[in-house]
Amino acid sequence: MERTLVMIKPDGVERNLIGKIISIFEENGLKVIALKKVRLSKKQAQAFYAVHKNKPFYDSLTDYISSGPLVAMVLEGEMAIQKVREIMGATDPKEAKEGTIRKLFGLDKEKNTVHGSDSLESAQKEISFFFSEFELISAE
């Protein structure tokens, strides 16, 4: 069993897609372990995406992520990290496969509706960015 961190980004929350997106993950056998709706400050968004700080899109990305509320959740399942990435589709919605969340709902490369951890290491970091040990234990 693996755990991964998923965000429904501000464009998804704004368009009332929270329920639809969670349903897609649940229908694919993933279990919601913990869930919260939060609005990140610019500084928090910069910290979350620190791995991208040298990328040309970093400033715009962190402006966007802090522009409105998002939903953060921990999903659990067999090979959850890879499974979530398959269900989300490619970063650029134009390149995402039919039926993936980004193909269905993504607006562009930045406003691509969902985020999922890309490795075990980033899943651990990203889960502890949003959730305390207590919140994870008490959800079991």
Q: Please indicate whether residue 115 is annotated as part of the active site.
A: yes
How much helix, strand and coil, in percent to the nearest 5, is found in the chain?
Answer: 50, 20, 35
Catalytic residue, from 85, 102, 111, 115: name it. 115
**The two three-digit tokens of residue 74, written as one number:** 């921990």
- Per CB under 6 A, 112 contacts ligand CMP: yes
- Per CB under 6 A, 21 contacts ligand CMP: no
The region of 20-28, 33-41, 105-113, 131-139 touching ligand CMP under the rule CB under 6 A is 105-113
Q: Which stretch of DSSP H or E encloses residue 76?
A: strand 70-77
**Quick one: which of 35, 61, 73, 80 contacts ligand CMP (CB under 6 A)?**
61
Instruction: Map tokens 């406003």 to a residue.
Output: 111
- Per CB under 6 A, 84 contacts ligand CMP: no
Report the candidate in 5, 75, 24, 65 with the shortest Cα–Cα distance to residue 41.
65
Instruction: Give the interface with ligand CMP as residue ranges (CB under 6 A).
Output: 52, 57, 61, 91, 109-110, 112, 115
